[in-house]
A and B are shown apart, each in its own frame.
Chain A
């Protein structure tokens, strides 16, 4: 949906406000950083209100309230109301846990534009297992409450080896819930999902089947519901245009106030990310070393530097390049021009060769504060969800 952005780069059009990393769910593919336990000092309400004003002055139009679980923040209604006053289109990206019909109505009154609810699966048992908490029935109830209030509703289901074979049931569930948009988003492998990649990466056969079903429903539902199906980029030959370019349109503010060009950027070494407690959003966006570091094309080594496609994909994802090659300036190994592409293919083949039983037997590292601390300390993470 970001396809229309590339011609208006230069301004932070998209502000992602990660209000907290606290979350009642523990999904093992969470896109939050592994070191969530470090983010105890959350920004206060006044700081967030200032960030919203400053980013809007720079041209931000889309605002995502995200997390963790943004509903954990009791000042969310205040932030939503200010977002509306400032003229943002505001999106609440939530698990649905922490909401009731009354709060859905309060958000509407405050001017929230859209709610996106995640499901982990279409059957209760798997949904609750993957989320590490009994949330399925509540999610159904909240999806109905969101529609009853007249919001546009997006349902987001992250796909991976454990649930992708359910795709038809998942789509049927979203039709029944009258979603306006459905994002069938394959797991991208960063942070928690990278730790769990052996258990989560689907096989090519699974993907081919899922894609055919998704395309069938896309055609069938054309005028009623928009279905977006995203394949895992490990199976592509060209990298994604990550964030539409570094420091081009996206600005993420993490719960502690650090400003990032994408929500995974804190994993990159050698960069010092500025904090909104110390700097204005304008200074951060235009002047900080971090936001200028991979801006444009001058930082690129070969094969990106002389590649005619660099203006299309910007060399792919810096976080993925660092994770898979140890060099954040390298070409994203998803690209078949990367000297590391063969190693990625070999790793995908290794995972694919795991039998279903083997893959299912891999313990899942659930995303929670206990495992975050264990990973930071070099200890063994627990294979079962924490009690919540």
Chain B
């Protein structure tokens, strides 16, 4: 698997639904007969995976939202994992 280009655009695959679950107090991914509970940071990243924002735009937004934290590597690692899990295409 190649690394992401900063301008590549991740998209959630159509079989997944991403939503906030009040009863679980977290974001979840729902898919045929299954569900994944997402950590707070995973939720913040996937919230921005909308098929329009690029990887670099997502990272820039997260930095703005979280006081300039050095999170590039974490975001890339999560997106790679999400692609490996079959949740997103990039």
Contact = CB atoms under 8 A, between A and B. Distances in A.
Contact of A4 (B15, B36, B86): B36
A1 B17 contact: no
B21 interface: yes
Contacts of A11: 23-24
Contacts of A64: 33
A135 interface: no
A89 B14 contact: no
Nearest to A150: B14
B34 A4 contact: yes
B19 interface: yes
Given A61-B30, A89-B30, A4 B35 contact: yes
Chain A contact surface mostly: loop
A87 B32 CA distance: 14
Interface string B3-31: 00000000000110101010110001011
A13 B17 CA distance: 16
In this complex, the interface size class of chain A, counting residues with CB under 8 Å from chain B, is: 20 to 34
In this complex, the interface size class of chain B, counting residues with CB under 8 Å from chain A, is: 10 to 19
Most-contacted residue by chain A among B14, B34, B86 (CB, 10 A)? B34
Contacts of A13: 35
A59 interface: yes
B29 to A, nearest CB: 10
B52 to A, nearest CB: 20
Contact of A152 (B19, B32, B35): B32
Contacts of A8: 24, 37
A89 B14 CA distance: 13
Contacts of B21: 59, 61
B28 A61 contact: yes
Contacts, number: 56
Contacts of A35: none
Contacts of B36: 4
B15 A62 contact: no
A254 B29 CA distance: 27
A115 B34 CA distance: 13
Contacts of B86: 223, 226
Given A58-B23, A150-B14, A114 B32 contact: yes
Contacts of B32: 1, 91, 113-114, 116, 152, 154, 180-181
Contacts of A205: none
A377 interface: no
Interface string A17-47: 0000000000000000000000000000000
A58 B35 CA distance: 16
B19 A87 contact: yes
Contacts of B23: 11, 58-59
Nearest to B26: A8
A212 interface: no
A6 B23 CA distance: 16
A113 B23 CA distance: 21
A361 interface: no
B33 A154 contact: yes
Contact of B33 (A7, A62, A87): A62
A357 interface: no
A213 interface: no
12 contacts: A62-B30, A62-B33, A87-B19, A89-B30, A113-B17, A114-B15, A114-B31, A114-B32, A116-B33, A152-B32, A180-B15, A180-B32
Interface of A: 1-2, 4-5, 7-8, 11, 13, 58-59, 61-62, 64, 87, 89, 91, 113-114, 116, 150, 152, 154, 180-181, 223, 226
Given A87-B19, A180-B32, 15 more contacts: A1-B33, A2-B34, A8-B37, A59-B24, A61-B21, A61-B28, A61-B35, A64-B33, A89-B17, A89-B35, A91-B33, A114-B33, A150-B14, A154-B33, A223-B86
Q: Sorted from nearest, which 3 A-B pairs have the closest CB atoms? A: A59-B23, A152-B15, A89-B30
